[in-house]
Structure formats: structure tokens, C-alpha cells
Amino acid sequence: MAGCSLYLMGRGFTISPEAGMILLSPWIIVICSPTEVFDEAVKGVSFMDGRNRSDVARGADVSVVLKEDQPTGKQTRGIVQNLLTKSPFHPHGIKVRLQGGKVGRVQVIHSAGHSSRA
């Protein structure tokens, strides 16, 4: 975050990501562009949350929510046998069939499988 400014401030202020601020401790704020703040905040964070078809592959270790578990959000872990959603994105998760036949929408990708892409 090379182009940032450092300010020492007291308590009782609001931190706004839109304004490009990061709270480092109760007394220090670093002010940067929103892009720099976002890039710094997400270092090492994976966005593979199961909503993009390109992130889900056959053989992947995933957690899904089965249709009958949608009201509670209970997750079932398994290995992807087939991808059932044809679109590249689904807001509730890509629908897959797990080994064993259970069908649900991917919520978490624990480890990538093997892609059929060339």
C-alpha cells in the first residue's frame, strides 16, 4: 500500500471501505484508494464459494445444501460426480450430483477436483 497516508486517531469514528480506510488498531487508520484497501483485505482469501461453474470440477471435495435441507441450511459433504447447472453462475450455488447420488447446491469448495477442460 505504497500510496497510502497514515493517521493516528482516537475512538468514536466510523471506518468506511468505500472511502478507502482500514482500521489497524483502535488508534491507527490507513487511508488509501478503495482498490488498494480491497486488494490488501483479500490477500490469501479464496472466492471459490461454489457459485461459479468454472470453480467446481468433477472430483472436487465440496459441501452442498440438499433441497430438503434448504430451510435449515444444513450442509452435506461429498465428492462431485456430475455438474448439473449449465449456466456459468448461479446465485445459490452450482447444482451438483455427489458420489452416492445426492443432489445439492455447492456452498463450500474444500479442494479442487480434476477439470475436464483442455
pLDDT of residue 12: 44
Alpha-carbon span 88 to 76, nearest angstrom: 23
Alpha-carbon span 96 to 87, nearest angstrom: 12
Q: Which has more confidence, 103 or 16?
A: 103
10: its cell numbers: 482516537
Does the predicted model carry a pTM greater than 0.75?
Answer: no
Alpha-carbon span 79 to 100, nearest angstrom: 9
Residue-wise pLDDT for 13-57, tens only, equals 444 555 555 554 455 555 566 666 555 555 555 567 899 999 999
Residue-wise pLDDT for 59-97, tens only, equals 999 999 999 999 999 999 999 999 999 999 999 999 999
Which one-letter DSSP state was computed for residue 104?
E
User: Is 73:63 a contact under the CB 8 Å cutoff?
Assistant: no
